[in-house]
Structure 1
Amino acid sequence: MTITVESRRKKLASVEKHWPNAAIIDVTWKGAEPWVRFSPFYPHGGIPIPNTPSETAQSVEGLWQGLKVFEREDIDPRKWAVTDMSGIKRGGKSRGAVRGHRFGVGSDVLLRYRDARLQIYLPAYKWVLEHRVAAEVEQLRRLAADKPLVLLDYETNTDVEDLSSPLSHAALVMYHLQGAWPTPLAA
């Protein structure tokens, strides 16, 4: 099974030339149905928020952004309710620098970026793969059994331990399809 991640920013003709006869699937928020459902921005609903049994988020990105803590602003639960795949990101100078991600509502635990990636983002995205897009995962598995599979994403960082750039969610789809979910190195 050959699966790879390529940048959605590349010209499609270039990707097709590099990967002839491959199934090329855009798994970003700009992808076609049903593949758009792999986007972390997609509002699946019911995504469990860590250490917060009574709360869920619409999207993985909403969960991630909502738990982000800044110098002058704590979590923003409103991000968990966003369903139109826009207005989810949080940043800006007025909030100050990012201090980390809160490990659930009311938690005193503030996770650094690596730990937040491992304890918030990865479990939330895996939950979506297992509970919200299982049928689409099987479709991709069938495609990958017949020909190379190229997953398009805006981010191409496939290394969970590489904190220099955002992690590609397409890489997580690839790992899931290969039965090789990332196991973090000891801290």
Structure 2
Amino acid sequence: MPVVIESRRKKAETVAQRWPGATVADVTSKGPEPWVRFSPFFPHGGIPIPNTSHDTAASVEGLWQGLKVFEKEDIDPKKWAVTDMRNIKRAGASRGAVRGHRFGVGSGTLLGYREARFRIYLPAYAWVLKNRLAREIERLREVARAGTVVLLDYETNADVEDLSRPLSHAALVRHFLEETWPEQPAN
């Protein structure tokens, strides 16, 4: 099952030359239907917030950004309700440095970046792949059985342990298709 990750920033001609005959799926928030549904910004709705009994988020990115904690600002539950894929990111000098991610609503546990990636982001994205994108996953598997699939993403970091760059969600799609989902190593 040949599934490769390429940068969406590359020219379409460059990708086509490198992967002749491949099916190209832009899985970013700028991609076409149905592939845009793989974007972490896509508002699937009902995504469980880890370590929280009743609250859910519309998107994986909204969940991730909403649980982010800064020096001068705690979680922002409004991010869980964003459905237009805009203004989800939280940053800025006025909030201070990022301290971590809160492990659920009302939790006193503040996770570092690596642990938050494994305990918040990966479970939330896996939930979406299993519960909201089963039909699209099967379609990608069928296409991959017939030939190469190129997944376009803005980020190309496929190593969940590489914290120096944002993680490619296209790489997570590949892991899911290949049944090689990254598990958090025992400490």
What TM-score range do you get, normalising by the shorter chain? over 0.9
Give the CA deviation at 1:105.
0.4
Letter paired with 2:24? I
In the alignment, is residue 121 of structure 1 matched against residue 121 of structure 2? yes
What is the TM-score of this pair, normalised by structure 2? 0.99
Give the CA deviation at 1:51.
1.1
For 2:86, the equivalent position in structure 1 comes to 86
In the alignment, is residue 60 of structure 1 matched against residue 60 of structure 2? yes
For 2:138, the equivalent position in structure 1 comes to 138
Q: Which runs of 5+ in 2 are unaligned?
A: none
SS at match of 1:53: coil
For 2:110, the equivalent position in structure 1 comes to 110
Equivalent residue runs for 1:133-172 within 5 Å = 133-172=133-172
Letter paired with 1:142? E
**Matches of 2:16 and 2:185 in 1, distance apart?**
35
SS at match of 1:6: strand
Question: Residues 68-126 of structure 1, C-alpha deviation per residue, up to 9 Å, x if partnerless?
Answer: 00000000000000000001000000000000000000000000000000000000000
SS at match of 1:17: helix
**Matches of 1:59 and 1:94 in 2, distance apart?**
25
SS at match of 1:159: coil
**Contact kept? 1:160, 1:184, Cα under 8 Å:** no
Q: Which runs of 5+ in 1 are unaligned?
A: none
**Contact kept? 2:118, 2:183, Cα under 8 Å:** no
For 2:47, the equivalent position in structure 1 comes to 47
**Matches of 2:183 and 2:109 in 1, distance apart?**
22
Give the CA deviation at 1:23.
0.6
- Give the fraction of aligned pairs with identical amino acids, expressed as a percent: 68
Letter paired with 1:4? V
What is the TM-score of this pair, normalised by structure 1? 0.99
Letter paired with 2:51? N
Give the CA deviation at 1:53.
1.2
**Matches of 2:182 and 2:99 in 1, distance apart?**
25
**Matches of 2:177 and 2:166 in 1, distance apart?**
21
Equivalent residue runs for 1:26-37 within 5 Å = 26-37=26-37
Letter paired with 1:90? R
Aligned-pair Cα RMSD in Å: 0.6
Give the CA deviation at 1:184.
2.9
For 1:12, the equivalent position in structure 2 comes to 12
Letter paired with 1:134? A
Question: How many residue pairs align between the two structures?
Answer: 187
**Matches of 1:18 and 1:164 in 2, distance apart?**
27
**Contact kept? 1:161, 1:184, Cα under 8 Å:** no
**Matches of 2:66 and 2:156 in 1, distance apart?**
24
**Matches of 1:144 and 1:154 in 2, distance apart?**
21
**Matches of 1:30 and 1:134 in 2, distance apart?**
21
